[in-house]
Amino acid sequence: MKCLAKRLKIIEDTLKTVSDNVGHYEELKKNDQYIIWAEDGAAGRLAGNNAVLNQAIQGTIDYFTRQDEDPAVDAIQDALKKAGIPSFLNSVQYEHETGYIHYEWVFEVS
């Protein structure tokens, strides 16, 4: 089984094809558009012979933008699909205090 960091590297690499402003756990540069991603925990596992043989890791990708109909939203979804990363759009929220539209995807890697 690959170490956790190696399995998660594809997330950051994929998001960097859309933007260079990609942070792990917190924003890299807070400006009009930025992406934050983080692993949340195990989504499932395969066990055998008293050991974990494989483990799926689940996490979230958050995209913050002040632009309505931002083309980066589709670019993120397309990049995840192209990389073969299972994901779904979990929520879209408008944050009145900051003026950001906040998109959240849930992903899984194993």
- How does the average pLDDT of the chain come out, rounded? 90
Q: Say yes or no to pLDDT of 83 above 50.
A: yes
**Mutual orientation of helices 71-82 and 4-15 as an angle, nearest 10°?**
140
Give the residue with greater pLDDT, 45 vs 81.
Answer: 81
What is the band of 1 on the pLDDT scale with cuts at 50, 70, 90? very low
Q: Say yes or no to pLDDT of 53 above 60.
A: no
* CB within 8 Å of 6: residues ≥ 6 apart: none
Please state the rounded mean pLDDT for residues 28-45. 87
Q: Say yes or no to pLDDT of 2 above 50.
A: yes
Please state the rounded mean pLDDT for residues 31-48. 83
